[in-house]
Amino acid sequence: MSEAPVPRPDLAIDLDKVLAKKFPGKKIPKWFINWMKRFIHQDWINTQIVKGYEGVEFCTEGIKFLDVKLDVHGLENVVVPEGSYMTFACNHPLGGIDGVAMGSLVGENFGHNVRFMVNDFLMALPGISDLSVPINKTGAQGRDLPRLIKELYQSPNNIMIFPAGLCSRKIKGKIQDLPWGKNFIKNSRETSRWVVPVHFIGRNSNRFYNIANICKFLKLKFNVAMLFLPDEMYRQRGGTFKVIFGKPIPPETFDKSKTDTEWAAWVREKVYEL
């Protein structure tokens, strides 16, 4: 690994600026912003961000900062023809550590030419901005989203994706992803990418799942549970998580015998079988 970069205090997250950009013209009470800064552990997160790491190295150093251990299995399974690119399709149990861990694992083991799609809130983290395509289905960026995704799949990069979009919920008493979106099937087939199923084993607190279920019951449009994810990550420091890589699935597998939605559900099932 290269020597540590020069510290960059200018990279620190400032929730005031993040919210002003996300909700232009909206008056958000100062007391609420200050409470959110404490709740998301802004100062703690910034102690790592200002170190100046970027890209895959940011993810790798982030795992060290969190004192997280990864029990990784199946890397030997991931073999594809020379010149082929891959879409790593993973379940999304945590909404924080799993993203950082997968950025590190895929980048360190299969080349730093890795990109992943993230909620646009996460673009406030400068260390991963070069790796990320921000997903915001509304506004100007939403209108540009199809082009960004097309360019991503046509690029000479491996792709890391959580097809559920949101992190796992407690459904019928079981921690599992919501149904997976189909676009990664269509885009991987059209660009001849091999799909690699990955199972990340972990869970958030009961508090998180209770809040998510209350929001669903109340039919709230805003994902309130997402605000609790930084605190969930803070609570998971020092943990050990098992990650299992399955065998790559060739793009021609995804033929017309199933719809793309059915193929996405099929890959999701393969992930949970690992």
CA distances from 28 to 21, 80, 132, 138 (A): 12, 50, 28, 21
pLDDT tens per residue across span 2-61: 567 777 776 777 888 878 877 888 888 888 888 888 888 888 888 877 787 888 888 888
CA distances from 63 to 13, 105, 202, 210 (A): 19, 10, 15, 27
Residue 116 binned pLDDT confidence (cut-offs 50, 70, 90)? confident
From the list 187, 200, 199, the residue with the least C-alpha distance to 85 is 187
Q: Which pLDDT does position 176 carry in this prediction?
A: 92
Per-residue pLDDT averaged across 175-193, rounded? 94
Residue 169 binned pLDDT confidence (cut-offs 50, 70, 90)? very high
Q: Which pLDDT does position 58 carry in this prediction?
A: 86
pLDDT tens per residue across span 199-256: 999 999 989 898 888 888 887 777 778 888 888 888 999 999 999 999 999 999 999 9
Ramachandran angles phi, psi of 265, nearest 5°: -65, -35
pLDDT tens per residue across span 132-163: 776 654 444 455 778 888 888 998 999 999 99
181 residue type, one letter: G
Residue 105 clears pLDDT 60, i.e. is over it: yes
From the list 165, 177, 194, the residue with the least C-alpha distance to 253 is 194
Residues 261, 80 contacting (CB under 8 angstroms): no
Q: Which pLDDT does position 29 carry in this prediction?
A: 86
Q: How far apart are the first and last CA of the chain?
A: 31
258 vs 218, which has greater pLDDT? Answer: 258
Per-residue pLDDT averaged across 88-111, rounded? 91
Residues 204, 225 contacting (CB under 8 angstroms): no
Q: Give this prediction's pTM.
A: 0.85
Q: Which pLDDT does position 138 carry in this prediction?
A: 41
Q: Which pLDDT does position 129 carry in this prediction?
A: 72
Specify the DSSP element, H or E, that contains 142: helix 139-154
